[in-house]
Structure 1
Amino acid sequence: MTLPLPADAMVHALARRDFSVFLDLVFPTLNPGTPLARGWYLSAMVRALEDIADGSNRRLQITVPPRHLKSVMTTVAFPAWLLGRRPETRIICASYGQDLSAALSRNFRKVMNSAWYAQVFPETAGSIVRDTEADLATRQGGYRYATAVGGMVTGLGADLIIIDDLMKAQDATFPEARAKAQRFVDETLLSRLDDKRTGAIIAIQQRLHEDDVSAHLTVKGGFRHLDLPAIAIRDEIISLTHGRSHARRIGDVLNPARESREVLERIRAEMGGRAFEAQYQQNPTPTEGDYVRWDRIQFYDEPPERHALHKVVHSWDPAASTDPSADYSVGTVWGHDGASWLLLDVIRVRLAYADLLDRVRSERKRWRADVILVEKSSLGPALLEDLGRDMRCIGDPAHHAPSCMRLGADARLPKAERLYSSVERLYSGFAKLPREAPWLEALRREMLTFPNAKHDDQVDSVSQFLNWAIGRGGRNTLRGHARRDGPRPT
């Protein structure tokens, strides 16, 4: 006759194969006397991590608000569970600073050295041969190694890399800090995977900036993304453990027992809309920017044909580099329909000077432009010189454009002041944007995240045009006297 297992033994047996049960044992070890408040989102995170464990997924991003057990689950409990099941597993965990990395390591070692862990995974618990603040290793060759941005992992390989918040919230506005974190991912962490085919990467974080590590990894592609905003912004079905699912509806609060809608609104008021949208809503592009209110902008439905437009003006903000991380050369195309200036097109490219000149000329011909504005910086002076030759019919006849005036624009004000002084034109209907266009979303994101976006070239082109259009040059162009009365060519 087989006797039933004691309750503890049954739990331990379940914990060996079920990460959710294992987590139930981890939490009170780290938080004595505090029960684990289970929510459906924890089951969703467990399911995503179990897919990494069984090899059905190799790349995972989880974005979740602060204080939702992300580090305990992913950087403490999950490595302990993996090493228990396979003590030869090699894991590298990275965070933004050594203090955080060390604190997470201490919690991990507390789990690994607990009495119950020795009952759940006796082989692994009995095979620990190295136990330091940064490194716990087994005699089977497995380890969990902790590092931070800027730390060294030379000579170490990994089956799993866990990236847990590589930036502090207060550092996210600095391009240098974002670039440093991204370089650490590319040049230090990703190269550590022993087998690029089977090695896994987990990145768990809150969103901090449009150009943060999460965005950097998304651009690389291949990551499954479990996105858990505090307040749902879409209807979706989210997979849970044991074949279950959760239907989340727009407006649903992630954890109402801990952070109700009222609590979240108080947090929003205290920390500000932009920070709340990024860290709690996982949306670093809020519906309202610091300088632009998208809901106040005036829009038009269908662009007129070229023959119905009184004038067409191009506004160019050229850039000098073709490097993938460099600024873009941006041209915005504006047409006046008799009532308002309409934004008709946005050209956003990285081109060497000769190719950029060809593109400007082709757009001039395509739109039969009346005026081309060019910022007098970077490649601007050279571009103005060549376009001036075209206007005076000097050089190759194929490029002659006597009816198109080119004007140099001086950026006398700082970028923020230029936008702030011009954006009212979009609210009043003096200028309008299209309701639909393939380039509109990229423009919207840049305008709403300005001045914290990675790039601001579209903003510069738009504000350059709007400030010119309201002045004497723009007024004279509409009266048809730009050649005689407008700003002199430069």
Structure 2
Amino acid sequence: MRLPPKHLIQAELCRRSFYYFLQHFWHTIIPDDPVYNWHIEYLCEELEQYAFRVKNREDKASDLIINIPPSTTKTTVCTIMFPAWCWAIDPTMRFITASYSGELAVDHAVKSRDIIKSEEYKKLFGKVTIKADQDNKKHYENNSGGSRVATSVGGTITGKHAHIIIIDDPLNPEQAVSDTERKTANRWMNETLSTRKVDKKLTPTLMIMQRLHEDDCTGNKLKKDPDIHHICLPAEDGAGVKPAEMRDKYVEGLLDPVRISKDVIIEEKKNLGSYGYSGQYDQAPAPEGGGMIKDHWWNYFDLSEFNDQSVTWNFVIDPAYTAKEKNDPSALMAYCYHNNNFYVADVAEVWKEFPDLCKFIPEF
């Protein structure tokens, strides 16, 4: 039996699998070798389902939120490669893509266009070409009616309608601490972007971001639509992983042990502090005043206040029995409870093997 030409086989494999397409076109826009952690294929398969429903003009099942740490290839997968693949399966699709920065949104759109204009894409999907009279970095169209418009959050998109809306990082960390910036972003998404759909029953909104604040765009959307399809993949395993079965994919409690190793996590905790790390990496932003334990509950005291008091000091230890700083430390605390208050006299974290830890305890 005579097989079809190789490029036709490659084209069909790409159409059938977004993940295959991503691997095939990776070096078209990225010179570095890829690190294919399991979550990349998983996200590709999830996005596929949305694209095929749009291709068949079926009602959307739900909008989608993806919360995932930085440096996990989320933008390459969701905002750059995905629209280019969608045109390979249905060049009539229209996109609106947005980010907190107009310059960043344009950069994403240009990289997608670079794929579409590449010789390999032309060889596999030659019928898809960018129209010469509408080939702008912010807005380009193909010869089948498909289009892509790139904008910033808060930007003007009057008169534009999309089959798929993609929002990639609607806020940056600096904007997220501003009540005004957060409210502006949430209002734009709820009142402006939501009206830019070809068909409200058909058009899904796909939002990809790292968590930055309790009331960021993810928090706002979850309050309005608690049943939305929510994928949450924190850097470290925990109760926040969604869907819960994805926890089985974590390796030694880590989402991506190659790029977000224990050493990287230790460094990022130092750089970002506990508040920044809990949002951007653990996808669990805490209130600025504290979560279950509030800032204003804490005061300082002098141990000499207890010289004439009859109190019992308690010592608690959460041992880890390791001297390797890439692992969790042993934690120690001395405290007492007196007159309806807890008094913490001292705390320590140490990396020691069991024998050395036993020697350290009396010193503490």
TM range (shorter): 0.7 to 0.9
Say yes or no: does 1:28 pair with 2:27. Answer: yes
Say yes or no: does 1:256 pair with 2:254. Answer: no
Residues 1:250 and 1:107: Cα distance change in structure 2 (over 3 Å): closer
Say yes or no: does 1:108 pair with 2:109. Answer: no
| Of 36, 41, 44, the match for 2:42 | 44
- The answer for the alignment partner of 2:11 in structure 1 is 12
Q: What displacement does 1:17 show?
A: 1.8
Which residue identity lines up with residue 46 of structure 1 in the other structure? C
State the alpha-carbon separation in 2 of the partners of residues 273 and 239 from structure 1.
24
State the alpha-carbon separation in 1 of the partners of residues 337 and 251 from structure 2.
32
State the alpha-carbon separation in 2 of the partners of residues 83 and 127 from structure 1.
14
State the alpha-carbon separation in 1 of the partners of residues 132 and 126 from structure 2.
11
- The answer for the alignment partner of 1:72 in structure 2 is 76
Map of 1:282-293 to 2, 5 A cutoff?
A: 282-285=283-286
CA contact (8 A) 1:40 1:246 kept: no
- The answer for the alignment partner of 1:272 in structure 2 is 273
TM-score (norm 1): 0.57
CA contact (8 A) 1:235 1:249 kept: no
Q: What displacement does 1:3 show?
A: 3.6
SS of the residue 1:78 aligns to: helix
Where does the alignment leave 5 or more consecutive residues of structure 1 unmatched?
298-415, 433-490
Which gives a bigger RCO, structure 1 or 2 (Cα 8 Å, sep 6+)? 2
SS of the residue 2:258 aligns to: coil
- The answer for the alignment partner of 1:87 in structure 2 is 91
Map of 1:27-426 to 2, 5 A cutoff?
A: 27-32=26-31, 34-55=32-53, 57-125=61-129, 130-221=134-225, 222-234=227-239, 247-248=248-249, 252-285=253-286, 294=293, 420=298
Larger radius of gyration: 1
Instruction: Kindly provide the CA deviation profile for residues 83-122 of structure 1, in whole angstroms up to 9, marking residues without a partner as x.
Output: 2211111110010011111211221111111111112222
Instruction: Kindly provide the CA deviation profile for residues 454-486 of structure 1, in whole angstroms up to 9, marking residues without a partner as x.
Output: xxxxxxxxxxxxxxxxxxxxxxxxxxxxxxxxx
CA contact (8 A) 1:90 1:160 kept: yes
TM-score (norm 2): 0.75
CA RMSD of aligned residues (A): 3.1
- Count the aligned residue pairs: 303
CA contact (8 A) 1:64 1:227 kept: yes
Q: What displacement does 1:419 show?
A: 5.2
Which residue identity lines up with residue 22 of structure 1 in the other structure? F
CA contact (8 A) 2:38 2:249 kept: no
Where does the alignment leave 5 or more consecutive residues of structure 2 unmatched?
54-59, 302-335, 342-364
Q: What displacement does 1:25 show?
A: 2.6
Which residue identity lines up with residue 38 of structure 1 in the other structure? Y
CA contact (8 A) 2:234 2:241 kept: no
CA contact (8 A) 1:236 1:248 kept: no
State the alpha-carbon separation in 1 of the partners of residues 153 and 125 from structure 2.
32
SS of the residue 1:54 aligns to: helix
Q: What displacement does 1:188 show?
A: 1.3
Q: What displacement does 1:35 show?
A: 2.0
Which residue identity lines up with residue 12 of structure 1 in the other structure? A
Tell me whether 201-210 or 99-108 shows the greater mean CA deviation.
99-108
